[in-house]
Structure 1
Amino acid sequence: MKFSIIITTHNRLPLLQRSIRTALEQTVPSEVIVVDDCSSDGTQDYVCSLCAQLQEKGDNRLIYHRNLENQGHSKSVNIGVDRATGDWVKLVDDDDYIAANCIGEMTHAIALRPQAAICSCQAVKVDEHEKELGRTKKVGPGKAFYIPQEDIHHGMLLEQVPFGTPVQVAFRRDAFLKSGGWDSSLDTNFDDIDSWIRIAQFGDAIFINQCLAYRTFWTGALNQRFSLEERLNTHIEMKQKIYQYVNEKYKAEIPHVDTIENYLKLHWALIALKDVKLYSAMKIAYPAICAPKAWHLLLKRFIQISQEQEQKKVSFEQEINSFSPIRKLVLIES
C-alpha cells in the first residue's frame, strides 16, 4: 500500500513550510505533492529549491505542481489526486499539518480492513500560534473501528458519522476518481463533505480515535467569506445528497427530507442568534419554527450532544483515577 500526501496552497508560504516538513517527517515515507494555486509570495522558489536539495540526497518524494492561473481549492485538489501515484491519498491544507505517525497509523488500520474506501482520525484544534484549543470528538469505541458501507450514509444523515475536514481524512484514490472528484462550484463551502458522501459509495469507513492531525482555526479561514444563509443552503444540499444514498433498510425509519431541512434551518437560526444576527435568525427560522417534527429532531440532537459531553467528562475522570499506564486498545476486527 502506498500513500500520496497532497498539500494545496496559495500565498501562505510560512504555513506551507510547516505542512511540507511534517509530511516529509512521516514514519512511513510517502509521496508528497504540493499543488501551488499560482502563488505570488515566493512559494515556487522555496518548493523548487527544496525539491532540488532532496534530489541531491537521492530523495524524490517531493513533487511540485504550479497552476498557471488561480483555479481555486477544489480544482487544485483534483489536480493533485490526478498526479498522485499512491493507492491512498491524504489531503492537507497548507494551514494544517499532520503528526509524524499519521500515515503509519492509517496504513495499519487500512491493512486490517482492506475493503475500506475512506479513513478518518481525530484532530487537535490549534490557533495561529499552535496553541491547543481543543480536540475533535471520538467516534465509536476503541482505538479504531470500521463502519460497513451500507451503514455510512445513514450515520451521516443523523450526524453520527462525522468524517471531518481534509486534514483528518484519507481516501482510496480509485474511489475518489470514480466519485468524480471535488465539485468546484462548492469551493471551500462543504466541498470536502460533498466528496466524502460520494466516496463512501465504494467501501467501508474507518475511524481512528487518535489525534493524528492538527487543524488550524484562524480569522483568515476561507469558509468565513460565506454568509450564514449560503452555508445553510449548502448544508441542506448536502443532506439531500446523503438522503439519496441511505441504504434501503433504513428508509422506513429516517425522518422525511423536509423535516431534516426544517431542522437545519432551526439549527442555523440558533447560530445566527448566537452571533447576534437577529434579522438573519428570523429569516432563516421561518417557517421552520412552526414544524414540530423539526423541533423534535433538534431536541434529540441537544440530548445527544449533552450525553457526549457527559461521557467525555466521565472518561476524563476515569483516566485521572486510573493507576495503570497500560490500557487495553480495541483494534478493528475483521
Structure 2
Amino acid sequence: MPRVTVIIPTYDRPQMLSRAVDSARSAGTDVEIIVVDDASSDTTAEVCRGLPGIKHVRLERNQGVAGARNIGIFESTAQYVAFLDDDDLRLPGSLDLQADALDKYPDAGFVCGAMVMADQNYQATGEIIRARHCGGDVFWDLLELDFPVMPLCTLMRKECFLSVGLLNQQVNSIDDWDIFTRIAEIYPVIVMEDAVGVYRQPTPFSGQGSSARAVQLRLAVRHQLELLRLPRAAEASASQRRASRRRTIKRISENLVWSAVARHLRRGHWRPALVNLRVAFELDPLIGFRPNGYKTAAKKLIGTFGR
C-alpha cells in the first residue's frame, strides 16, 4: 500500500499537468498519484495516457474541484492524502517530510507547511507564505479565517474523512477552508516552517483574481454561519459565537478596503477596487468609522485565499 496519495484535479490544462505530476513523484518515495480529469474537452485524456505510473480517472460530467477531489479520495489507497492543483508544484521530499510528522504525532489530523510564491513561469518571487501559528488546537483560528492554510501545503490523514465527511461541493471555491475547519474541530494540527510547495500566480497582477477573492471572502462570511453550528462551536456561549462572528467580519472587511486602496487604486485598477469596497461595506457598513488596521488584517488573510 502506498504511503501518500496525491490527488490532482484537472480541467482543460494539459500543458500544465506533466510538470505537476513530476513534482508529486519527486515529493515522496512511496506516492500514489491520482489525476482526476473533470470532463475536459481537450487533449487531457491523451496526455494522461502518456504519463506512466499514475491512476487516471475520467469524469463524464464536470463536478468542480471539490467533486473531483472527492472522487480522488474514494480512489485513494494510502494512509495520507494531499491535494495538488494542476498548475502548482510540490517540492522534492516534501511529502516524506510531512508524512514523517504525521507518523510522529498520530493524533494530528493534518500537517501544513510554507508556500513559495512564483510567477507564471514558476520563477520564485522571493515571497514565502507561512501559517504564523504554533499549531495544536486551531479550530477557532480557522473558523475566523485567522489561520492561513493552503491545500497545496497540506497533508491530511485519510481517516479524517471518515470522521468529518467529504468536501462540501456546495461551497466549491472555499471547500478547502471548510474541510480544514471541520477537521480542526476534532483533531490537532501540525505546523511546519519548511516550504513544501510552489504556488504559481498565473498572470502578472491585473486585479481579476482579487475580484474573485472578494467574492470568495463574502461566501466565506456567509458559510461561517454554518460552521458555527458545528458541535464544538454550538457548545460555546452565545457571546463567544457573536464575538467570533464580529472578529471575522471586521478582519475581512478591513482586508478588502486595504486591498482596494493600497493595491488596486494605486495601479489604476478601478473595477476590482470597487468590487472589494462594495463587498466590504456589504459585510460591515460601519467600516468607514474604523480607519486603522487594514494592513495587518490583509497580511493575515492573503495566505488563506491567495493573492
TM range (shorter): 0.7 to 0.9
Q: 1:299 to 1:152 in 2, by over 3 A?
A: same
Q: Which amino acid aligns with 2:219?
A: T
**In the alignment, structure 1 residue 155 sits paired with structure 2 residue 141:** yes
Q: In structure 1, how many angstroms separate the alpha carbons of the residues matched to 2:157 and 2:70? A: 14
Aligned to 1:210: 194
Q: In structure 2, how many angstroms separate the alpha carbons of the residues matched to 1:226 and 1:290? A: 22
Q: Which amino acid aligns with 2:253?
A: K
Q: In structure 1, how many angstroms separate the alpha carbons of the residues matched to 2:240 and 2:184? A: 21
Secondary structure at 1:93 match in 2: coil
**In the alignment, structure 1 residue 114 sits paired with structure 2 residue 106:** yes
Q: In structure 2, how many angstroms separate the alpha carbons of the residues matched to 1:8 and 1:283? A: 30
**In the alignment, structure 1 residue 17 sits paired with structure 2 residue 18:** yes
**In the alignment, structure 1 residue 285 sits paired with structure 2 residue 271:** no
**In the alignment, structure 1 residue 41 sits paired with structure 2 residue 42:** yes
Aligned to 1:264: 252
Q: 1:65 to 1:180 in 2, by over 3 A?
A: same
Q: In structure 1, how many angstroms separate the alpha carbons of the residues matched to 2:28 and 2:283? A: 53
The match for 1:124 among 111, 116, 128 is 116
Q: CA deviation at 1:242?
A: 4.8
Q: 1:3 to 1:227 in 2, by over 3 A?
A: closer
The alignment's TM-score, normalised by the length of structure 2, stands at 0.79
Structural mapping, 1:51-200, within 5 Å: 51=52, 54=53, 62-133=54-125, 134-140=127-133, 146-147=135-136, 151-157=137-143, 159-164=145-150, 166-187=151-172, 189-200=173-184
Aligned to 2:304: none
Q: Which amino acid aligns with 2:39?
A: C
Q: Is the 8 A contact 1:156 1:242 kept in 2?
A: no
Measured on the aligned residues, the alpha-carbon RMSD in Å equals 3.3
Q: CA deviation at 1:173?
A: 1.4
The alignment's TM-score, normalised by the length of structure 1, stands at 0.73
1:194-244 per-residue CA deviation (whole Å, 9 max, x = no partner) reads 1111122331101111111111111499x9396566333212124434544
Secondary structure at 1:261 match in 2: helix
Aligned to 1:325: none
Secondary structure at 1:182 match in 2: coil
Q: In structure 2, how many angstroms separate the alpha carbons of the residues matched to 1:199 and 1:89? A: 13
Aligned to 1:326: none
Q: Which amino acid aligns with 2:280?
A: I
Q: In structure 2, how many angstroms separate the alpha carbons of the residues matched to 1:175 and 1:162? A: 20
Q: Which amino acid aligns with 1:213?
A: G
Q: CA deviation at 1:78?
A: 0.4
Q: Is the 8 A contact 2:12 2:44 kept in 1?
A: yes
- Larger mean CA deviation between 102-111 and 225-234 belongs to 225-234
Q: Larger radius of gyration, structure 1 or 2?
A: 1
Q: In structure 2, how many angstroms separate the alpha carbons of the residues matched to 1:290 and 1:49? A: 56
Structure 1 gaps, min length 5: 55-61, 307-334
Q: CA deviation at 1:159?
A: 4.6
Q: Is the 8 A contact 1:153 1:243 kept in 2?
A: no
Q: In structure 1, how many angstroms separate the alpha carbons of the residues matched to 2:28 and 2:199? A: 20
Q: 1:154 to 1:256 in 2, by over 3 A?
A: closer
Q: CA deviation at 1:81?
A: 0.5
Q: 1:256 to 1:26 in 2, by over 3 A?
A: closer
Count of aligned positions: 285
Q: 1:43 to 1:159 in 2, by over 3 A?
A: closer
Q: Is the 8 A contact 1:6 1:80 kept in 2?
A: yes
Q: Is the 8 A contact 1:2 1:88 kept in 2?
A: yes
- Larger mean CA deviation between 204-213 and 174-183 belongs to 174-183
Q: CA deviation at 1:183?
A: 1.8
Q: 1:241 to 1:121 in 2, by over 3 A?
A: farther
1:61-89 per-residue CA deviation (whole Å, 9 max, x = no partner) reads x2110001222111100000011011110
Q: Is the 8 A contact 1:263 1:288 kept in 2?
A: no
Q: 1:218 to 1:291 in 2, by over 3 A?
A: closer
